[in-house]
């Protein structure tokens, strides 16, 4: 789990970092990576290079305002979870405007409140993503980012939106089982497509990126029917 902490107070940054360490040490199914930021501008400048699952954002950030920082993050394409935490509680309702997951006030039992927020958010993240391990590096890939998965020799390539690719030494059959019951379709011995990312279907799937994904010859009729049913449901 990659988490950014953005707070201009170094004591609060370290406090939250320690709270996260304690929380994730108690949850062995998740690995924690934290990055600390002292300003909103620093976070905004780094957001495209990082794949944060959660951003914990102070509201009063010196010369920055957390709500303005959150708006810029959303405008720049950040779709994941934001938790505001602040000494001030008067901005709670403003958090809805940037689709924040929670708002924690730095007083009273805010440690318990933070853990409650993390429980809710981590359960949501785990049910909507895959944890990919490649060369001892764990990366979380969200279902709504995946365009298609390709089997290539001894590994699989997860092709995602905006040209991102992730690799995993796993069989395509494993991904098929893990994605069963979701909006994914095994259309070929070498491919699984995300039907939400399909632009059109003929003898192959045309994805939103323009990539043509092969359909096995004897499965074209079934693939079309399955995709048509999916489109009609949505």
CA 172: distance to chain centroid?
A: 21
Q: What is the pLDDT of residue 207?
A: 97
Residue found by looking up tokens 């395509």 in the block: 172
Going by C-beta distance under 8 Å and a sequence separation of 6 or more, which residues neighbour residue 124? 81
Q: What is the pLDDT of residue 30?
A: 85
What would the DSSP string read from start to end of 182-232? SSEEEEETTEEEEGGGEEEESSEEEETTS-EEE--GGGHHHHHHHHHHHHH
Low-confidence ranges of the chain (pLDDT < 70): none
Q: What is the pLDDT of residue 134?
A: 84
Q: What is the pLDDT of residue 166?
A: 95
pTM of the model: 0.86
């Amino acid at each position: 789990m990659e988490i950014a902490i953005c707070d201009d107070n170094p004591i609060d940054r370290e406090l939250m970092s320690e709270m996260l360490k304690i929380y994730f040490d108690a949850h062995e199914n998740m690995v924690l990576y934290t990055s600390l930021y002292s300003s909103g501008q620093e976070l905004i400048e780094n957001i495209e290079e990082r794949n944060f699952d959660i951003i914990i954002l102070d509201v009063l950030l010196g010369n920055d305002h957390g709500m303005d920082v959150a708006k810029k993050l959303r405008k720049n394409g950040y779709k994941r979870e934001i938790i505001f935490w602040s000494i001030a509680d008067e901005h709670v309702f403003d958090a809805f405007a940037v689709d924040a997951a929670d708002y924690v006030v730095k007083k009273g039992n805010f440690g318990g409140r933070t853990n409650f927020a993390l429980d809710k958010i981590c359960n949501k993240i785990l049910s909507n993503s895959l944890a990919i391990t490649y060369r001892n590096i764990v990366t979380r890939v969200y279902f709504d980012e995946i365009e298609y998965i390709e089997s290539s020799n001894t590994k699989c390539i997860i092709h995602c939106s905006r040209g991102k690719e992730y690799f995993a030494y796993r069989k395509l059959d494993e991904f098929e089982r893990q994605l069963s019951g979701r909006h994914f379709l095994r259309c070929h011995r070498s491919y699984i497509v995300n039907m939400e990312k399909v632009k059109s279907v003929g003898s192959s799937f045309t994805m939103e990126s323009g990539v043509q994904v092969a359909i096995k010859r004897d499965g074209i009729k079934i693939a079309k029917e399955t995709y048509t049913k999916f489109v009609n449901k949505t």
